[in-house]
Structure 1
Amino acid sequence: MDPIAVIKSNLEMFTKSEKRIALFILNDPIRIVQYSAEEIAKAAGSSKSAFIRLCQKVGYRGYSEFRFSLSKYLISHKAKENKEETIAQSITTVYSENIRQIAQNITDSTIEKVCRTMTNSSKIKILGNNRTGLAAHQLRMRMAKIGMDSEFVSDTILMNDIVSSLTKEDLVIVFSIKGMSYYEEVVKQIEANGIESILITMTPNSPLNKYFDTIITLPLVSRATSRFLDDQAIFFVFIEILLAELAETDDSSKE
């Protein structure tokens, strides 16, 4: 089944709220396989229930089934357009393009500022949850390689306890792809204690931004293609950039 063709042929049978979502899908189908049902409904100015009804009206049981069908369609459609490009070439191209964007998005002065803050802090706590917990752990491991002490925390309950004991001499680094709400109490505590804070995210307008002193926004590779790519590679490359600058900062301070 071609989900795009089915939606086009059924536009007139949709309600106004369903049609808003249908037009959103037709204008930007890649976003549908990358966003949640709630995000799509909000972006389209409609509701999740209207989106589910639309999926059912065009022959699917719900959003998950429709999303899977659309993903298959987009991948096969892309393959037809790029018959000479292999899967390996396609994926490595997407990653390489997004890695290059890191240098475009972040200035040298911002990296230098982050590194000065890190080297001047008494304690460094690195927070990440679930998948971003891997990036937080990686930063802690890589910092240890150059003799910098830090602590990585992935338990959200423990985060609150640890942050509450920090002072203005300390630093909190938070990894969060979307700036999820489960960090809200933690970041409020960070702000209340006057703790220096850095957010490393992939969402430019995260609701958590207002609580942080420094914000690093990285490319979101998982939304750059219809393929289900992981964002960890982007975090890891940024960590290597940060580590190289930290090593230089540390060397210059010893001269």
Structure 2
Amino acid sequence: MTASMVLAGGEFLTRVNSTLPSLGETDRRVIETMLANPEAVVRGTVTDLAARAGTAQSSAVRTCQRLGYRGYQDVKVAITRDLANQTQNSSELAHEDGIDAATSASEIVERIFRRSGRALIDAAGTVDADTLSAAIERIATANRVLVIGNGTSAAPAHDAAYRLQVLGIVASAPPEVFAQHLGARHLDPGCVCLVISHTGASRESLLVAEAARAAGAYVVAITSFVSSPLTRTVDGVLVAGGPEYGFRLEAMASRLAHLAVVDALFVGVAVRRPQTSATALDLMADVTVDHSL
């Protein structure tokens, strides 16, 4: 593991420099804690930050707001972006697992795959079995399922909708945010909205979750953090995410964990309705043959 980077510039540091003179002692302590280890901010929670700064969680959140952010998640995003820009502007690019230009291809495969496997093992311990069971039951009996994912969560969302369609479930994953919001407004108590979001702070995904709840649908989230605006909105939370690996890019390891949860939902729903699933899978096999040379 490389030493923690120091912010040399960027949006977050600019806001700090312009705001710090007007802040009190507690705010200064929280900011100094963030600047001392910005990568810990990216990886951790606001509770972790408050503990390191020796203050209350509410005080840490207020510090973020005094810097002009809506909350801690916005600070995480800003620092992540600033660190990524620093890395891209640096003359040397170093991976956290010690991978550099001299590392052989076989070593890269071994190290990256080992990291990915560890991320899945870690995530298996955070998924709540009761919530997973409830989600399987709701999806298996739903009139239709709306799957939402934006940014890096778009691909897992599309995969989830496709897998549910394979089982004969009416499911969709609209790629456009207006279509997502409209789809949520058309849901009813017999429907399910599955929201996949790494941070749980995506404005578009949160808006859809709120609309789906208001429509009476059961809303379940697959996300990486226990506490976020999304987790405070939905009916059920499936937390599957670990430390981020790589060139400080959000959601690389977590995306694997989220896909694993999607796979668990797929298998759970399939065995929950075996006859229907068997028929649907046979149809899928026929379609596959039609598209094979």
Instruction: Decide: shared fold, TM above 0.5.
Output: yes
- The 3-state SS of whatever aligns with 1:197 is strand
Deviation, structure 1 residue 160: 1.9
1:24 match: 34
2:120 match: 99
CA distance in 2, matches of 1:201, 1:173: 11
1:197-220 Cα shifts (integer Å, max 9, x gaps): 111111221112222111111114
Deviation, structure 1 residue 73: 7.2
1:234 match: 257
1:27-54 Cα shifts (integer Å, max 9, x gaps): x35447779xxxx9x7895748xxxxxx
CA spacing shift, 1:108–1:185, aligned 2, 3 Å? closer
Deviation, structure 1 residue 64: 5.6
1:197 match: 219
1:51 match: none
Deviation, structure 1 residue 116: 0.5
> Is the aligned partner of 1:167 residue 2:223?
no
- The 3-state SS of whatever aligns with 2:130 is helix
CA distance in 1, matches of 2:32, 2:93: 16
1:115 match: 136
Is 1:3–1:70's contact at 8 Å kept on the other side of the alignment?
A: no
* Ranges in structure 2 where 5+ consecutive residues have no aligned partner: 9-16, 22-26, 50-59, 69-81, 278-293
Deviation, structure 1 residue 188: 2.6
CA distance in 1, matches of 2:271, 2:97: 47
CA distance in 2, matches of 1:234, 1:78: 23
1:173-222 Cα shifts (integer Å, max 9, x gaps): 1111122122343233222222111111112211122221111111145x
Q: Tell me the number of residue pairs that the alignment of Structure 1 and Structure 2 aligns.
A: 226
CA distance in 2, matches of 1:110, 1:65: 38
One-letter identity of the residue aligned with 1:138: D
One-letter identity of the residue aligned with 2:256: A
Deviation, structure 1 residue 232: 2.8
- The 3-state SS of whatever aligns with 2:238 is strand
- Report the TM-score when normalising by structure 2: 0.62
- Report the TM-score when normalising by structure 1: 0.69
1:139 match: 160
Identity of counterpart residues, as a percentage? Answer: 13
Deviation, structure 1 residue 246: 1.4
CA spacing shift, 1:90–1:22, aligned 2, 3 Å? farther
One-letter identity of the residue aligned with 1:210: R
One-letter identity of the residue aligned with 1:24: M
One-letter identity of the residue aligned with 1:250: R
2:284 match: none
CA spacing shift, 1:3–1:171, aligned 2, 3 Å? closer
CA distance in 2, matches of 1:151, 1:71: 44
CA spacing shift, 1:86–1:3, aligned 2, 3 Å? same
2:13 match: none
Root-mean-square deviation (CA, aligned residues, Å) is 4.1
